[in-house]
Each structure stands twice: as structure tokens, then as C-alpha cells.
Structure 1
Amino acid sequence: MSTATHSRLGSHKPHTPLRAVKPAKATGDALGPLKNLPGYWEGPGFSLIARPDFSGKSPNGFFLQLNWLREMIEFTTIGSPVLNRGSAQEDIAIYGVTYLNRVIDGETGGALHVEPGMWLKIPPTDEPKHDASIARLGTIPHGNAFCTTGFCLHEVPNGLPNIPPASTVPFDIGTPQPAPGTPNPLAEYDLSIPSDFRSNPLPAGLTQALIDDPLQMLRDTIAEQVNIQGCLVKEVDLLITSTGNNAGGIANIPFINSNANALEMTSVFGIQTMVDSHGNEFLQMQYSQTAMLNFRGKSYPHMTVGTLIKSF
């Protein structure tokens, strides 16, 4: 190789030192309540959504879509701290994971949802004055992006974990959400009443109890594992976030704002350390998520739930 060619390849450029990052273990240990997320999770779920119907034939202006789900989520550790520079206080270091969530119809295998995002662990801050917290950020192909914030709870259940009831009853925008157990006045939600504005055929095995409270699927799953399969729920880390914490929120494209405005979202992800009947430990994630869709004067809870097992 000639000297001229060697020079053109950059041999005389100033040396640029490599930028080092912390070892993977140190970064992983810094994840705190998020430490068990990295890896691949898969399992079944259920989705209930009242979506707008523009045909003019629906008496209540919506179609109730019900789906069994098959979900796959892969979490990857962000390999170094992310520095947030402070102006009112000193800098903070955020640790986190990225994720990609894919959802298909549990019966047909058809594509339903894809969601890239991140979970973040945020240290305590002085300005604003705030305890350690977590955040979840994601983007939705309908034209939404959300940021929810919240906290983690560590529990050691005595038997079955507590999964509080929920309500799917729509309500007038700006009024309180009906309490769990409130009767639903809309025929689309009542399986004893035929309706052309509900999924048909119904997903096999769907019950009225799941339409009234989709979290019943989580209770049934964990009860079978504990009471029939002989599993033990050793401990649970609950990741609880929402848009109702004077932080975060949801941004929508104009079409969403005008047709099915999504303004609020709450989710609870329970990372369960399980022990099977042979004494083997495995990780399981039970989650519930509720997004409020506002259209035609009402708020409609869009609920999804699932039980996913960490495979690797």
C-alpha cells in the first residue's frame, strides 16, 4: 500500500479513545424494581374495546370488540445510565429497559397490536421534591404516544395475590367512573341479549364474568396455578403507572382527538416470582391496562389483561 493511500485511509487522524460503559451486571443491578424485566415473555391475554361505529346502524354508536390474545414482549437493558442534566438541582442518572410488544389474535393469529417503548427507573429528586419513581413510555400505531409515571410495591402474598375488581361500564364524560359491580345498561355488554354490534362469533369460552371484569382472567389463572397445580407465589413486584400523576400524558394525531380521544391510561404490571410443585422457580407477569376512549359524550374503558411467562 502506498503512503498516499495509507494517508487517505485516515492513519494520521487524531486518536479517539473508546467510551467505556459499566459492566452489564452493574447496569442490571441499577434497574431496581425493573431488574427482572429483561428477557423474552410470552402468554395469553384478553382485550375488550368499545370502538366507534360510523355505520349509523348501531343504536349506541359503538361496536364491542372482544379478543383472546397471544402476546410476546421482549425487554432489553439500556446498557448505560442516561444522564438528565439539572438546572434547579444536580444531574440525575436514569436506568431503564426498552421493549417491543407484539400482540396477535389468540384464535386466528391475525395481527392486532405492536408497541415499542421503554420502562425507566428514576431516582429521588429535590426539584421537584419527589420520591424514587418509575415511568413507562410507548407508541401505538393508531397514532398515539403515552408517558405514564408511578411507583413500585413489593409484596409477599399469603396465598393468592390481591387483584382488585374493575369495571367496564361506560359513563358520561366528566363524571366519576362507576364502581366495580355496577350493572351495565348497554345490551352490547350483555351476552344474554343478541347483538349485531358485538364480536360474532364470540371468542370460544368467553364468559359474562370476563366482560364485566376482565381481571377475572388473571384471578382464574393464578388460582389454578396455586390451588390445582401446586404452585407458590413467592413474591411480587407491582409496577403501577398512570397518566393521572400530574406528569406524563397521551398525545394523539388529530383523527384520534376527533373520533376516539384517548386521554387517560393506567396500568399495573405484577412481576411474580413463582415456585412450581417441584420447587423450581420461574418468573411470571400478570398485567392489566385500562385506556379511556372518549367519543359521542361517553368514556369507554378499553381493557387488556394477560399472563406472560419469562422464557429466556
Structure 2
Amino acid sequence: MADETPLRAKISLPVDFRIDEVKQIVGAAPTPTPPLGVLENFTGEFAGTGFNTVFRPNGAPPTTTTFANPIPPPPILTPPNENVLELNLTTETLSFSASLGSVPNRGLGMPLAVNGNAQEDIFLNGVPYVQAISDVTNPATGKGDGKAQGIHFEPGIWLNVPATKHVPALANSLVRMASIPHGTTINAQGPAPTTVINGPPNIPSVNITPFVIGSNPPELITFASQTAANKDTPRIPQDLTKFIASGAINQAILTDPNTVLRNAIAGQTITKTIVFTVSTTPSPPEFGGGTANIAFLEGNAAGTSANASSVRMNATFWVETVEHLIHIPVFKPGEGPLRIPAKPGTQGPVFTGTPPREIPAPITIKVTSTQIQYSQVVFLNFAGLTWPHVSVATLTPAGDVPIPVSAWP
């Protein structure tokens, strides 16, 4: 019988590949591998589900999006229907490679000395990754059980950058460098986390409402497609009746997509959370980073006729330690390893291991797994407005999680 397990996006480095500085002295000792910090949690493969919202331009004929329910003309002084709000229930795989090693970045030295102190070399370490996201929205059921259609692919690298003393004088930071097929690359930075939350995260709200480009405070422009009950707006899916009934997409989720993240962890026992944010426009004293777009996205050299130019990206990640109680059946020495899902019948980690002794009667043991949640906002400029493009997901280990020896009674 053919293996029907769905394929996942994977990444791997050549065997024994490790970056290190090129040394002049033959036989010189290799540079110690720099720490990864919180990126140590980014290992192996993760998979899960999420939600994506994106306002996109509605192209000229023949590619104009058409709808089953006719779109009424907008009243006077309200925005025209030049956009389509696309909503996606998603599945996702996130695959991490082995770390890169010791990546040398050379300080210029005395020409940029500050108070007589020259900038030394620094050594980075990082984790390459591949992310693949598919739309599984099913209007027939109002759930995320439809045929998978790829909507996002992203190769990239996470980097841990050590603190520097002089040029620049910055604390330890994290960097995410990525490329996407629409023609955008990002370099997002932010401070490395310095504290651990002893418990679950406090996930703030996020708003998808567009606003006038450059307005401060933002001049919000709300569209009829943002009201879940409306059935005749330029939105995909146009009619959300079944999604509202199932709870997969409702008004609370449209108003604040991070509701999906909070719903995902309701009832979980989360004992530890590490949170960090990276941005293409990081807050001072951090600086650097940015986005780059192909000409089609920018529209013209001035960026005043953009088709959908990515001008900024912010992403917050919550790395959580989730505690599970798993039930161990009767076991006799010599039997094969056990494979026990954390929550039978649902997506999530599967724990595997061989008890060190006979288990004469079923028992319950306590184990933990790593969970990654994220909320990302890409700000797209077109038609005089900045349009927040929000993506959220909850990801758990896709491979088996070993049961530690300490968990057995």
C-alpha cells in the first residue's frame, strides 16, 4: 500500500557542513561555536494550522475577481471596491536545518574607533529554515478541511547576533532574513529575549483595518468586507455563514486574528513562554533591516503607483513549553517502543519511548513539548492606503518527541 503521509517542506545542509573563519595559520584551532540563544528551540520540523488575512488589489480585466453575489456600488464618499479581502484557513510546515556554525563578521577597526576603542570582529550563528503554507478553506463545510492549495513559500535564515560595544553599540539581537515568491525579501531585526514568562503568553490584539498612507495617528478606513455577516462584499469566501456556525471564521476573528492563537492554547498547560519580536523597522537603539520589492510591486520608481508594495513587516513569536499527561499502557520488557499522541485524534506531538521496566498496569506520566506561535503583519501599500496583511499560526513538532528517562516512574 502506498504511503499516503503528506510531504512536508524540508531543508538540510550538506553532511558535516559548518561555517568558520578562513585562517592564515595552518592547523589553527576552530573558532568556538557561538550560542544560538532562543534559536536553540528552532530545530527539526514543526507543523500546524493557522489563519491568514490579506487585502489584495482587484486586477483589471480579464483577471478581475468575480463573485457569486453581485457587489453593490459604493455610496458617495466611501472607498471604491478596488480590493479583495482574502481569508485563508491554513496548514503549515516549518522545517529547520542544523545550525550554521561560526559566521565571521569583520569589524573595520581603527578607522571607526570610538573613544580610542576599535570594533572587534563578531561571530554569528544561525538556523536556515523553509516555511510552506497551504490554504485549506472549505466553503462547503465552513471548516479548514478543504483540498490544500499552496499560498506561501519562504526560505530564510534566523541569526543570533552577539552584543557589540562600539560600532554599533547594541545588545544581543535576533535577525530573520527571508524571501517570498511574490518578489519581496525582508531583513527583520529585534532584541533577543532577556526574560522568561513562567506560564502562558499574554497575546495582544492585532487590527487588519487599512489606513491612509503616512497618516499619524493612523486614519483608519473600514471596509464592508470586514463585517463577517455581510454576504455581498468583495471577499473570499464571500458568504461566511457556515464558517461562523463552525467558529472557524467569525466576527471576533476578523476583528482580531490573534483570537485564533488564544483559542489554540485554551485548555493547554503552558509552563514557560519566551517571546520576541522582529521588525523591518526596529525600535531604537536597534536599526537596520528593511524590505526590498521587485519593480512590479512598487509600480514606479517613486512608489506612488504601487500594485502592492511591502513596506514594513513586524512578527512576534511565542516559544512555549507545553506540559502533557500521557497514558502508558501495560508494557513488558522486549516489546517495541511506544508511540503515544499527546491528544489522540488531533494534530499535535507524538511521544515515543521504551519504558525502562515492566508496566504491569496502565499509568499516566508527565512530559513536555515545544510549541511555536506567531503573529505576523506585513504592511502593503496600494491605492493610497496601507493594508495590514496578518498571518497567525500554532505549530507543534512534526516528528516524534522522545520521552525523557526522567519521566518514567
TM-score, normalising length from structure 1?
Answer: 0.84
For 1:10, the equivalent position in structure 2 comes to none
Q: Give per-residue Cα distances to partners, 1:83-131, cap 9 Å, x unaligned.
A: 0011031110000100000111122201111100000000011211101
Structure 2 Cα separation of the partners of residues 31 and 76 of structure 1: 13
Structure 1 Cα separation of the partners of residues 100 and 191 of structure 2: 22
The structure in which a higher percent of residues are strand is: 1
Q: Which of 212, 218, 234 is matched with 2:255 structurally?
A: 212
**1:41 maps to amino acid:** F
Per-residue deviation, 1:155: 2.4
More moved, 254-263 vs 47-56: 47-56
Question: Does structure 1 residue 97 correspond to structure 2 residue 137?
Answer: no
**1:302 maps to amino acid:** H
For 1:3, the equivalent position in structure 2 comes to none
Per-residue deviation, 1:196: 4.2
Structure 1 Cα separation of the partners of residues 162 and 314 of structure 2: 21
> Per the alignment, do residues 191 and 42 of structure 1 end up closer, same or farther by CA in structure 2, a change over 3 Å counting?
same
Q: Which runs of 5+ in 1 are unaligned?
A: 1-16, 226-231
For 1:249, the equivalent position in structure 2 comes to 290
For 2:317, the equivalent position in structure 1 comes to 269
Q: SS of the counterpart of 2:97?
A: strand
Q: SS of the counterpart of 2:41?
A: coil
> Per the alignment, do residues 48 and 177 of structure 1 end up closer, same or farther by CA in structure 2, a change over 3 Å counting?
farther
Percent same amino acid at aligned positions? 34
**2:223 maps to amino acid:** L
**1:108 maps to amino acid:** K
Structure 2 Cα separation of the partners of residues 211 and 78 of structure 1: 37
Structure 1 Cα separation of the partners of residues 30 and 392 of structure 2: 37
Q: Which of 110, 115, 127 is matched with 2:154 structurally?
A: 115
**2:92 maps to amino acid:** E
Number of residues paired by the alignment?
282
Question: Does structure 1 residue 291 correspond to structure 2 residue 378?
Answer: yes
Q: Give per-residue Cα distances to partners, 1:139-162, cap 9 Å, x unaligned.
A: 01000000000023332244x320
Q: SS of the counterpart of 1:150?
A: strand
Q: How does 1:161-310 map to 2 (within 5 A)?
A: 161-176=201-216, 185-200=222-237, 202=240, 204=243, 205-225=248-268, 232-245=269-282, 246-258=287-299, 259-278=307-326, 279-310=366-397
The structure in which a higher percent of residues are helix is: 1
Per-residue deviation, 1:21: 6.2
Q: Which runs of 5+ in 2 are unaligned?
A: 1-25, 65-70, 74-79, 110-118, 137-145, 300-306, 327-365, 400-409
Asked if 2 retains the 8 angstrom alpha-carbon contact of 1:21 and 1:79, the reply is no
Structure 1 Cα separation of the partners of residues 107 and 385 of structure 2: 41
C-alpha root-mean-square deviation of aligned residues, in Å?
2.3
Per-residue deviation, 1:195: 2.5
For 1:50, the equivalent position in structure 2 comes to 55
